[in-house]
Structure 1
Amino acid sequence: TVPGVLCLPLWWFIPESPRWLISQRRFSEAESIIQKAAKMNNIAAPRVIFDPMELQELKLPGQQKVLILDLFRTRNIATITIMSLLLWMLTSVGYFALSLNAPNLHGDAYLNCFLSALIEVPAYITAWLLLRKLPRRYIIAGVLFLGGGVLLLIQFIPADYNFLSIGLVMLGKFGITSAFSMLYVFTAELYPTPVRNMAVGVTSMASRVGSIIAPYFVYLGAYNRVLPYIVMGSLTVFIGIITLFFPESFGMTLPETLEQMEKVKGFRFRKKPRDSVQKEENPKVLITSF
């Protein structure tokens, strides 16, 4: 835990969220941060971002006390929350079970643990590249299908082909690690500002539950060496299917309030055309169309 102390100086370097500063009516600080961000990205920002006259007329919502029960306020929000809890927990089960089971693979235990850790480097890089260009739910589902699918193939590998089994395990770890790293971004984009931190915290707690029960999946190897991979692969493919039913957040206007999140339509399969006036008055926040 000692290296965590090195993060303390970041308090003075990481800027505050402009959106939060605006909600607190600290407009000058928000404008300064936006100007600095524009300069770093070589974007010519206007000298005055917030018009003082407009700021006087701006009506900001009052401070609303949010509770953990707000994550289950309506059917739509509760559905997204329950699916998020399952997604985090089962992804964590696969991640930690594969990590803990690395010494049990054939061959040198130290080499297997090293490979299990090494494969995470390209997994994180791949996740970063995919998040920049592609829809969230499809890429998360895709890497989960990859990870779960190769784990299910291990049962068909002859015992003599140990190197092939290890390769499939590492490929499965690659897919699950990529998905795990994407969940932080995806979950934060699903929820509005008032409950965003709470939602990430609650779902992250669900992943800790997954890490607690992960060793019991490893113990299944005492009955059959491929049984842990069959169970983990099946659960990973299952949660990959569940991911397809999430709303899409890539390229969408993120919800600002719980009221906006309540308007998210559930599992529609066709988008209806809207005229320009409707789009202006009711912008698309999140969609769930396939």
Structure 2
Amino acid sequence: MWYMPESPRWLISRKKYLQAQTVINGIDKRLLQEEEENYLDLPTPKQARICKQFQIFETSVLGNRIVKSAVMYAASLLTFYSSRKEANYVNIDVYNYLLLVSLITLMHPLTSTVLINFMGRKLSVASAYALLSVFYCTILIEASPQNIQFALFILILNFATISNNITMQHTVEMYPVSHTGTVLGFCTSFGTIGVVLQDVFDNGTELKQVRFVWYLMFSATAMVMVFFLPETSRRMLPLSERAARQLH
């Protein structure tokens, strides 16, 4: 049985896995094994086999994902803090803090991978959205009108993050990367800017202008993270595709 380096076998649908095997079976197995060992940069086939069962992304690509996630999560935390401060409620109680930590943990790519493995895609997505709903309902119950607007923006940012993470975890390595999360992040960021622009023009107070700067900064950050830190790299070309190119 042959593994695909970036995609654990349990994340691949049976149909797509069989399609991948059809491609791989048409290639010299000896060349393919040499390619896998060189690709993984591991000294022995045994270590390569062990690593391939758990490897999801290369170090460079995983680093990009960590940077992107860190900036987006930091933007969410800063927005959350500023909204609480504006509502004169800076002290975050333990309940909200645990909800926020749980939400960030749930959105992490490796965590979502484990959830998809044990719970299935639909149930894992439902769990993420359920926790997100509880978190924002808690905020909105205590919220002032200003806090509601900030909370809605965090909601948009985090939904884009969840969508991007879960979409990436379901990408089969020999198929093009789906851009669902990218499109969602792009549209929601621009939609947020449009809503806030209208808010600023309708109520041109100093407070509204300050809020607009916050919105603009975090929306721009989200878009930069989505578009300028790519999820793929040259070395993440599908293994079977790269081997096939060498044969041709």
Q: TM-score per shorter chain, which class?
A: 0.3 to 0.5
TM-score by length of 1: 0.33
TM-score by length of 2: 0.37
More helix by share: 2
